[in-house]
Amino acid sequence: LALAPVTAPPASVDGFVREFLHNLNFELGVSLSASSVNDRYLALAQTVRDYLMARWLDDQRRLSEIKPKTVCYLSAEYLLGRQLDNNLLAARLTDVATEALAACGVSLEELREIEVEPGLGNGGLGRLAACFIDSLATMSVPSIGYGIRYEYGIFRQTFVDGQQVEQPDSWLRLGSPWEFPHPEAAQTISFGGHTEKYVDDDGVERSRWIPGWNVLAVPYNYMVPGYHNGRVNTLRLWRAVATSSFDLRVFNSGDYEEAVRAQTYAENISKVLYPEDSTPQGKELRLQQQYFFVAASISDFLENVLGDGVELEKLPSRVIFQLNDTHPVIAVPELMRVLLDERRLDWDDAWAITQQCFAYTCHTLLPEALEVWSVDLLGRLLPRHLEIIYRINEEFLEAVRERFGDDEMRIRNMSIIGEHPYRSVRMAYLATVAGAKVNGVAELHSQLLRDKVLPDFDEFYPGKFTNVTNGVTPRRFIRLANPDLASLITEALGAGWTIDLERLRGLEAYAEDPEFRAKFAAVKASNKRRLSDVLHVRDGFDVSEDHMLDVMVKRLHEYKRQMLKVLHIVTEYEGIASGRVAASAVQPRTFVFGAKAAPGYIMAKRIIHLINAVGKVVNEDPRVEGRLKVLFPPNYNVTLAERLIPAADLSEQISLAGKEASGTGNMKFALNGALTVGTDDGANVEIRQLVGDDNFFLFGMTEPEVEALWAKGYRPADFYQQDDDLRRAIDLIASGAFSDGDRSVFEPIVSNLLYDDRFMVLADYSSYIAAQAQVDAAYADQDAWTRSAILNIARCGFFSSDRSMRDYIDRIWHTPPVL
């Protein structure tokens, strides 16, 4: 085959113009004058791809020669955000592209805005995966991201009468220029059927799987370019396609309609992202999704990436499969099955290899969020895997007995198989037993994981548990989202900070420089104007520059306590409406919410309704004199986050202590110079330690205090009785003031707060209100606030996902960069 190397087009304005027009004419089949905005966007995307292609192919070739140890990141979600700008930035093409397009009379800005972001994730966990693959590429670490190419990502949220309505996210509708499908490389993935015992040629008794049906997994490759390092890694997402056996069935049975139904059934597997991000429902399709992508990924790695002639004993020196929560944990019995049934290893060898090839990241502390699969369902869908899980459990419990004696209580507690309320496989336990390492996502979370969630395992496996605090990519969340801040930082510190975020420390000195502070304040003001422009076009909202911008954006969850924010707003409003507080005495504030609720999470949906209802009343009441505004733009996503976060003054991180594993929005805000009002939870703890108490508004109970209050018996109604402000706020909601006098609309929220309040909103209310008074007082001194904001940025370099990757490499993966 020809060996002529693939070369990139010349990185000049002329070269770019030629490539762009070529793609427009020859790939899209339109002339410039007849092209639509979408045509031009697609041609531009193709052009950017052309510049990255040579590097991508070269990296793949080099790595197949070098054969380094590779990270296989297994994640059911990648919340990527828009690709165009990121890829331009990585390839250093932004300026050339801007000029080249201008020369063609095309506005880059207009093309940017038309891209529909791939929303292939729910929230923090999916966005974390996207940050991690960006950092791995930027750090030249050999790695592949594996996941699912959902045809529909996270739903599009709209509000009708203030209530959430979900619409399908057809992100592929206008074309998908960033993906490379490879139908010829499809893997066959099997399901169902039964197992049977047999004796092999060596007289060893073995089991084999006779599957009932299968589907094809078609790989779709995406480029993951490193920042300015000429490297391009791969994200490989799988799409489910019916096998030809479905066609065969038509031929044999003549039942055409039934055959088409069967085809639809198979292709449903990658049809839609599950929009739940806790309380897993044990749905069969979800387990099918998990096994589908994990089986395809393992087989892809072993057959296509690993290369020929590798002794399986050496597998742990070539790969680490990182499990992003329990969603891909079925990979553990799958690798065992491949080693045992296909590669004919004996049990002990297979298990020794498997135990070194996996590591598990836990992202939760909520017991209801821990995934379990009923033995019934798992046995029906994956009978061979269930057998393997049983054997893993038997041997594990045997080892536990050897160590601790016949402590039946402990055995029951540690068993991978739970018995109540039905027989089920505890996926977190399976991951912990199989994983070489188990990590939490912030210091506090990792500690609680060891002490509260998996204490017996921590005792049994000393050294297995570790922490890697989450991080976020400074490329997307500073460089791209906040270009003016990025320029200001570069002006002060030089350009190196983007890949060495600890250098932001250098800004500490600038925090004391009045001139720098003035420049910083100007950037913040300009970001507010930019946000206002976006929200005006998008939702008809206006953001006033002289309002404090107070932002709470994250999935809607009771534990995250959007209700606490609502009670604060209602308290402020009630003060004015009752005449006890003069509107003129209130610090002007715009409260911004962004939050999607899982479609089946009724209480979360009620809270969304309440936020919209409170917003309507507060925004329209003339007595407020426009000094309080509540904005709830629908469909919060990565694209909106990139506009909102740089404009924020105040970041709301107010979960009940001990419930938020880490949070990553908190880091994005701090790195963009918002101050945090927050509890002692997740990574807030580390943010506060780094920025210092003077630059962080701490409130609320600590995790041990939460425990103690539960233990002594929590009675939320007592807090209601004893706090006048709280009582007035709740009474106002209960009175129907936000529901046209209809007291029934928000009654379920009110009674939940008064008589249940699992997340102790009322217990933390007074402390929160006091913290907000401090916020107001601090904001009154704008110059001091700006200084704090700059110190937040200067001290948060730790939260780069590059640092997270270094920690994973040092503590878990041992996969050095390959330059």
Residues labelled as active-site residues: 363, 554-555, 560, 664, 668
Applying CB under 6 A, the span of 278-286, 388-396, 451-459, 607-615 interacting with ligand 26Q comes to: 278-286
- Is 358 or 373 the residue whose CB approaches ligand 26Q more closely? 373
DSSP 9: P
Pairwise CA distance, residues 729 & 766, whole Å: 12
Closest separation in Å from C-beta 280 to ligand 26Q: 3
Work out the angle at residue 291's Cα, subtended by the Cα atoms of residues 287 and 296, and round it to the nearest 5 degrees.
155
How many Cβ atoms sit within 10 Å of the Cβ of residue 203? 6
Does 371 engage in binding with ligand 26Q (CB under 6 A)?
yes
- Is 293 or 510 the residue whose CB approaches ligand 26Q more closely? 293
Residues 85-124 that bind ligand 26Q (CB under 6 A): 122-124
- Is 225 or 471 the residue whose CB approaches ligand 26Q more closely? 471
Does 661 engage in binding with ligand 26Q (CB under 6 A)?
yes
How many Cβ atoms sit within 10 Å of the Cβ of residue 518? 11
- Is 128 or 298 the residue whose CB approaches ligand 26Q more closely? 128
Kindly give, in sequence order, each residue whose CB lies less than 8 Å from that of residue 91, ignoring residues fewer than 6 positions away.
Answer: 48, 51, 52, 225
Residues 324-363 that bind ligand 26Q (CB under 6 A): 327, 363
Question: In this chain, which of 145, 379, 383, 663 binds ligand 26Q, going by CB under 6 A?
Answer: 663
What's the chain's Rg over C-alpha atoms?
27
Please report, for residues 564, 569, 735, 741, 766, the alpha-carbon distance to residue 729 in angstroms, rounded to integers and kept in the order given.
11, 9, 10, 15, 12
- The full DSSP string for 191-243 is E--EEEEEE-TTS-EEEEEE-SEEEEEEEEEEEEE-SSS--EEEEEEEEEEE-
- Is 19 or 681 the residue whose CB approaches ligand 26Q more closely? 681
Closest separation in Å from C-beta 660 to ligand 26Q: 5
Applying CB under 6 A, the span of 162-170, 273-281, 685-693, 784-792 interacting with ligand 26Q comes to: 273-281
From edge to edge, which strands make up the β-sheet containing 417-418? Answer: 372-374, 424-426, 417-418
CB of 48 within 8 A of CB of 803?
Answer: no
- Is 177 or 275 the residue whose CB approaches ligand 26Q more closely? 275
Give residue 628's identity as a one-letter amino acid code. L
Question: In this chain, which of 300, 652, 660, 703 binds ligand 26Q, going by CB under 6 A?
Answer: 660
Closest separation in Å from C-beta 65 to ligand 26Q: 35
Does 277 engage in binding with ligand 26Q (CB under 6 A)?
yes
Does 664 engage in binding with ligand 26Q (CB under 6 A)?
yes
Size of the site for ligand 26Q (CB under 6 A): 22
Does 682 engage in binding with ligand 26Q (CB under 6 A)?
yes
Closest residue to ligand 26Q in the complex (CB) = 124
Closest separation in Å from C-beta 476 to ligand 26Q: 16
Applying CB under 6 A, the span of 521-529, 624-632, 660-668, 786-794 interacting with ligand 26Q comes to: 660-668
801 dihedral zone (left: phi>0; alpha: psi -120 to 50; beta): alpha
CB of 549 within 8 A of CB of 650?
Answer: yes
- What does the per-residue mask of binding to ligand 26Q show for 454-483, with x meaning CB under 6 A? ----------------x-------------
CA 347 to chain centre: 36
Q: What phi and psi, each to the nearest 5 degrees, are found at residue 242?
A: -65, 145
- Residue carrying structure tokens 């891909």: 328
Does 128 engage in binding with ligand 26Q (CB under 6 A)?
yes
Does 662 engage in binding with ligand 26Q (CB under 6 A)?
yes
Closest separation in Å from C-beta 124 to ligand 26Q: 3
Q: What is the dihedral sign for C-alpha 398, 401, 402, 403?
A: positive
Strands (E) across 433-482 are located at: 437-440, 465-467
- Is 121 or 177 the residue whose CB approaches ligand 26Q more closely? 121
- Is 225 or 474 the residue whose CB approaches ligand 26Q more closely? 474
Question: In this chain, which of 81, 280, 435, 594 binds ligand 26Q, going by CB under 6 A?
Answer: 280
Does 125 engage in binding with ligand 26Q (CB under 6 A)?
yes
Work out the angle at residue 213's Cα, subtended by the Cα atoms of residues 208 and 217, and round it to the nearest 5 degrees.
100
Closest separation in Å from C-beta 765 to ligand 26Q: 23
**String of b and e for 343-374 (b: at least 16 CB within 10 Å)?**
eebebeebbebbebbbbbbbbbbeeebbbbbb
Applying CB under 6 A, the span of 96-104, 241-249, 373-381, 658-666 interacting with ligand 26Q comes to: 658-666
Does 441 engage in binding with ligand 26Q (CB under 6 A)?
yes
- Is 662 or 772 the residue whose CB approaches ligand 26Q more closely? 662
Strands (E) across 45-203 are located at: 70-74, 78-79, 119-120, 143-148, 156-160, 163-167, 179-181, 187-191, 194-199
Closest separation in Å from C-beta 369 to ligand 26Q: 6
Positions in the binding site for ligand 26Q (CB under 6 A): 122-125, 128, 274, 276-278, 280, 286, 327, 363, 371, 441, 470, 660-664, 682
